A = this chain, B = another copy of it.
């Protein structure tokens, strides 16, 4: 491949001058010389080597996106929002799947550091991840937290308000007359799971009822977890008219088990989800859920990260988006 030296030689100028035109420095080069250099560059199909440039500028124009699993339908939209936005500002994105495993998180943080990415967007399901966050802070790597809230102060991040979303959907269920409501929670160690559960409890409590602990089961935010939790719930033999699930995927799993056990949805049992992944509007009955603006979250986090990297002023370090109740057909009024 041609290098800046080749161009310089062939255009009869110094590499400095070539560098000037590569970097579109408006002044310092005569139009004539510029044209000549541009032509040589074109003829040789020259591409400046960003690795070499990065070595001196300390910028790679590359971001790291650390998330649990791109195959989980919650994340592709986010990733798309991140990549699109990064692209607009001239950055690329390295994708990292951690499966929520601390060892993989650490591994990726290390190689992203070694590769000198300019910043990292971090979505972790585990808490405390303070170790890894500290790692990032120690090496002064700009980063933005996404979706999964950390119990540390003032870290830049974009979240959606799980408490509020769950409060809304639970209120809705209550207004529809439901009193015996089961809850399929997310993993105990996940902060989002905690926020959502708190929102559920708050709504129930506010209406003068209390949560029946026997009707609360933990899941893993996946379809399998929803199935297992629902199986346990049914096994207990306690009656309930509705199930609130901490995310859509578990709701889908729960629905399947419910149906296998002869329950009709929503005639016999109402169900709600959380996230509003694409799937939820496609299954039958269409799932009533809480929408998180995934694409927008990815985009906002990226914009925030780039501001951080480029040292621009930020309006706010912590953006909390209000999720929206999406009413479809999985909830029936009871009297």
Instruction: Give residues in A with beta carbon < 8 Å to B.
Output: 1, 45, 47-52, 54-55, 60, 62, 65, 69-73, 75-77, 79-80, 83-84, 87, 92-97, 110-111, 113-116, 138-139, 223, 252, 256, 278-279, 282-284, 295
A278–B73 touching, CB < 8 Å: yes
A79-B95 contact, Cβ under 8 Å, with A110-B47, A282-B279: yes
Closest to A253 in B: B282
A60-B51 contact, Cβ under 8 Å, with A1-B139, A95-B83, A111-B92: yes
With A51-B116, A278-B279 given, name 12 new contacts (CB 8 A): A1-B139, A47-B114, A51-B54, A51-B60, A51-B115, A62-B94, A70-B79, A80-B97, A83-B97, A92-B115, A94-B95, A256-B282
Closest 10 CB pairs of A and B: A284-B284, A71-B80, A50-B114, A95-B95, A71-B76, A47-B114, A70-B76, A76-B76, A51-B54, A92-B94
Q: Tell me how far the C-beta of A143 lies from the nearest C-beta in chain B, rounded to whole angstroms.
A: 16
Q: Tell me how far the C-beta of A27 lies from the nearest C-beta in chain B, rounded to whole angstroms.
A: 25
| Cβ 8 A contact of A51, one of B51, B69, B77 | B51
A49–B94 touching, CB < 8 Å: no
Q: Tell me how far the C-beta of A15 lies from the nearest C-beta in chain B, rounded to whole angstroms.
A: 16
B282–A252 touching, CB < 8 Å: yes
Inter-chain contacts of A111 with B (CB < 8 A): 50, 92
B96–A94 touching, CB < 8 Å: no
A77–B83 touching, CB < 8 Å: no
Closest to A112 in B: B92
| Cβ 8 A contact of A138, one of B45, B65, B97 | B45
Bound complex: CA of A48 vs CA of B113, how far in Å? Answer: 9
Closest to A295 in B: B71
B92–A93 touching, CB < 8 Å: no
Closest to A138 in B: B45
Q: Tell me how far the C-beta of A91 lies from the nearest C-beta in chain B, rounded to whole angstroms.
A: 10
B84–A77 touching, CB < 8 Å: no
Bound complex: CA of A65 vs CA of B92, how far in Å? Answer: 11
